[in-house]
Structure 1
Amino acid sequence: MTLTPDKIPPQTQERKPALESEMTPRPEYDDPNYRGSDKLRGKVALITGGDSGIGRSVAVYYAKEGADVAIVYLDEHGDAEETKQAVESYGQRCLLIPGDIRSENFCHQAVQQTVKTLGRLDILVNNAAEQYLEESLDEIDSARLGSTFATNIFSMFYFTKAALPHLRPGSSIINTTSINAYKGHSTLLSYSTTKGAILAFTRSLSEPMLERGIRVNGVAPGPIWTPFIPDAFPPDKVKDFGQQVPMKRPGQPREVATSFVFLASEDASYMAGQVLHPNGGVVVNA
């Protein structure tokens, strides 16, 4: 469904993180017309933030391509179970691992649990994040800044370090950055700053990982209809979400997941240190 303002009623959620199950309309995480072709057959992926939004869609598309999936999430158990059911409907295994990725020890345990249960690890998708609407710099205190950086970028260091002993030549690391890493966002200052750090992390990590035969790339989505939106924005701003891009609409998670499939597969065998831009037509030059 194409999301136009008349199809997005004002909405918010008191619970944080917000739940995909309570969004209206529900995000589209699967396209029944997409047919997998075994691009990831026999592989295992660990996806942070895989319970909903882009992470859920990536998990489902990986399953359609033949991969088993481990999903790391905070405490959105209902959403996570729905993702698991979707993955298993395509004949693949799905391991749910709830916990706080701000803890390095938890990140290490999540990787170990993935390998122990699913037998290997081939694809690491660093996707989980948090964001806050900030009308002024004065709203950003040390606690919020610390939490945002710990969730959005520190966890990527933790998971990558824990995963490296298990990743073989041909494996992939894919990091979710954002259009805001390139253009900035005046009212998402702390979030956008972490996304810039993720861009630098992706580029900086890429070359040394090539020595191990591991490709590191990123995806920088534009405005995508996920629980992030009612989580951060007031109801009046939710209605007009995504109207600023040339396509005049927000994207659906399924329109982003295919970028992750490409980067994880051999189709992207000559790509490293790169970022794909499913963003509704915004041209970024950096």
Structure 2
Amino acid sequence: MENKPHEFPPQQMEQPGKEHKMNPEPEIIRDSYKGSDKLKDKVALITGGDSGIGRAVAVHYAREGADVAIVYLNEDKDAQDTKEMVEKEGRKCILIAGDVGEETFAKSAVKRTVEELGRLDILVNNAGEQHEQKDIRDITDEQLKRTFATNIFGMFYFVKAALDHLKEGSTIINTTSVTAYHGNKLLLDYSSTKGAILAFTRTLAQMVADKKIRVNGVAPGPIWTPLIPASFDEEHVKTFGQKTLLKRAGQPSEVAPAYVYLASEDSAFTIGEIMHINGGEMVTT
């Protein structure tokens, strides 16, 4: 059978994107995915957990037996939909709205997670934003600071707040990107933050290894999430993902199992590593 390039219906939306307005909506979890208590009675805090990869991670974690705290900006309907998906799996879910780029919010989000869910075992730093610009001169000071605040400063803030609660066997998982390795000429500031996350992950892993806390990351390639129609023009969205070997974009359901692996005992000897889920985009690690 010929491997024909997949196309999405042309669409655009304002940031932050809304998953319930996407056409088609992303696949969050496969019906065939069977949980096996890999994360039984663990508690996970996921930034950017309302939609896309974050939502898929939350639902997969719930199917594996974890309770979940979802941190998001202002996408209330998407967050509520995610909460319902988690609860459908028989697990607890709390929603915490705020700006991950503010340290006071990070502290309060971690505090609330521990107070309401009883503990914290897994921190997933996943929140991110990107803005297409063809010329570095068009990247305003406001955009530059906003992108770095969301994508990398927030990771510092949440890790700082979480470390008082994480114990031996706990895990931290950071979402970087394939752009950290080969860049993207339309996403200069975003790619720069993703490179910073790569270094942050590897260095933090060394810093907390003595505490028996494992730090790893995931570098997704082109994945169909609300960030895509909220970042690019209709023509880019239409052909999104066609440059992969599979000639299509990936789905959140195809990324989330990597986060399950890195959060579970299956990855007990994996530390400071980055998992590449990108449809065959060869990168040098």
Answer yes or no: same fold by TM over 0.5: yes
Shift of 1:285: 1.2
Match of 1:71 in 2: 70
SS in 2 for 1:106: helix
Measure the CA separation in 1 of the matches of 2:153 and 2:5.
36
Equivalence for 1:31: 30
The answer as to whether partners of 1:45 and 1:124 remain within 8 angstroms in 2 is yes
Structure 2: distance between partners of 1:25 and 1:167: 38
CA distance in 2, matches of 1:166, 1:52: 26
Q: Deviations over 1:215-246 (max 9, x none)?
A: 00000000000001000000111000001111
In 2: Cα distance, 1:122 partner to 1:65 partner: 14
Residue 57 (structure 2) aligns with: 58
Equivalence for 2:265: 266
Q: State the 1:204 CA deviation.
A: 0.5
**Cα distance in 2, alignment partners of residues 4 and 111 from structure 1:** 45
Q: Distance in 2 between matches of 1:248 and 1:139?
A: 31
Aligned to 1:183: 182
In 2, the alpha carbon distance for the partners of 1:44 and 1:167 equals 10
- Judge conservation of contact 2:6–2:239 (CA < 8 Å) in 1: no
SS of the aligned residue for 1:146 comes to helix
Instruction: Please report how far the alpha carbon of residue 4 of structure 1 lies from its aligned counterpart in structure 2 after TM superposition.
Output: 6.8
Alignment correspondent of 2:150: 151
- Length-normalised TM-score, structure 1: 0.97
What does the per-residue CA deviation read over 1:92-150, in whole Å, with 9 as the maximum and x for residues that have no partner?
A: 00000001111100000000000000000000000000000011111112111000000
Post-superposition shift, 1:6?
Answer: 5.6
Is the contact made by 2:6 and 2:242 (CA closer than 8 Å) also made in structure 1? no
Kept after mapping to 2: 8 A contact 1:27/1:53: yes
Unaligned runs of 5+ in 1: none
Question: 2:204·2:215 contact (CA, 8 Å) conserved in 1?
Answer: yes
| Identity in percent | 58
Change (3 A) 1:4 1:146: farther
Shift in Å at residue 284 of structure 1?
Answer: 1.0
Q: Which residue of 2 aligns with 1:43?
A: 42
AA aligned to 2:11 is Q
Q: Which residue type is aligned with residue 8 of structure 2?
A: I
- 2-side partners of 1:223 and 1:197: how far apart? 19
Distance in 1 (CA, whole Å) between partners of 2:28 and 2:133 is 28
Q: Give, in angstroms, the shift of residue 202 of structure 1.
A: 0.1
Match of 1:10 in 2: 10
What does residue range 1-286 of structure 1 map to in structure 2 within 5 Å? Answer: 7-13=7-13, 15-286=14-285
Q: 1:31 to 1:4 in 2, by over 3 A?
A: farther
TM-score, with structure 2 as normaliser = 0.98
Residues 30-84 of structure 1: per-residue CA shift (max 9 Å, x gap): 1110000000001000000000000000000000000000000000000000000
| Aligned AA (2:96) | I
Q: CA deviation at 1:8?
A: 1.1
Letter in 1 for 2:95: L
Q: Which amino acid aligns with 1:64?
A: R
SS at match of 1:165: coil
| Counterpart Cα distance in 2 of 1:75 and 1:196 | 27
**How far did 1:263 drift?**
0.2
The alignment's C-alpha RMSD in Å is 1.1
Secondary structure of the structure 2 residue equivalent to 1:211: helix
Deviation at 1:22, TM superposition (A): 0.3
Partner letter of residue 26 of structure 1?
E
- Contact 1:5–1:239 (CA under 8 A) maintained in structure 2: no
Aligned residues: 283
Aligned equivalents of 1:215 and 1:154: distance in 2?
A: 20
